[in-house]
């Protein structure tokens, strides 16, 4: 039986310090989404967040960057999985969602699609 590490321990093991994790997150968020907020303000806001939330943001951001490249492409993939790829207003609404909600929406749509194919 393995002992689950605390978010603080994971942050220190994987990134060294919370500041380094926040720096990586600011860069990652800039790559996957157009950030209208000033980078210093974003960094200050992220430093006030919990380690658990920062690690979750890092996981989400990394998955979006690796699989889709940007939030816009993720929104298009989610719309396609939901069968509404040509619905422009719906696509615009999806693009307004947070990256985490959008990724969860895509995962649930893919699961539902998988069950339909198996039936």
Please list the alpha-helical segments (H only) found in the chain. Answer: 7-15, 18-32, 39-47, 51-67, 71-81, 88-96, 99-118
Same domain, 7 and 60: yes
Residue 118 has pLDDT above 50, yes or no: no
- Mean pLDDT in residue range 26-49: 84
Q: Are residues 9 and 46 located together in one domain of the fold?
A: yes
Please give the residue range of the domain that contains residue 84. 69-119
pLDDT surpassing 70 at residue 119: no
d(CA 62, CA 69): 9
- What's the average model confidence in pLDDT over 98-117? 82
Surface-to-core class of residue 51, CB atoms within 10 Å of its CB (0-12 exposed, 13-18 middle, 19+ buried): middle
User: Domain tally for the chain?
Assistant: 2
The C-alpha atoms of residue 20 and residue 11 are separated, in whole angstroms, by: 9
Mean pLDDT (the chain) is 86
Q: What does the pLDDT look like over 59-77, one tens digit per residue?
A: 999 999 999 988 889 999 9
The pTM assigned to this predicted structure is 0.78
Say if residue 1's pLDDT is above 90.
no
Residue identified by tokens 């997150």 is 25
């Amino acid at each position: 039986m393995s002992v689950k590490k605390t978010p603080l321990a994971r942050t220190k093991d994987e990134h060294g310090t919370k500041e380094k994790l926040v720096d990586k997150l600011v860069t990652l968020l800039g790559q996957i989404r157009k950030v209208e907020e000033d980078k210093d303000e974003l960094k200050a806001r992220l430093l006030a967040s919990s380690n658990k939330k920062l690690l979750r943001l890092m996981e989400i951001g990394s998955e979006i960057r690796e699989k889709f490249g940007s939030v816009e492409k993720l929104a298009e993939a989610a719309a396609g999985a939901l069968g509404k790829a040509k619905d422009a207003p719906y696509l615009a609404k999806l693009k307004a969602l947070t990256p985490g909600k959008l990724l969860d929406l895509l995962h649930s749509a893919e699961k539902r699609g998988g069950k339909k194919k198996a039936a």
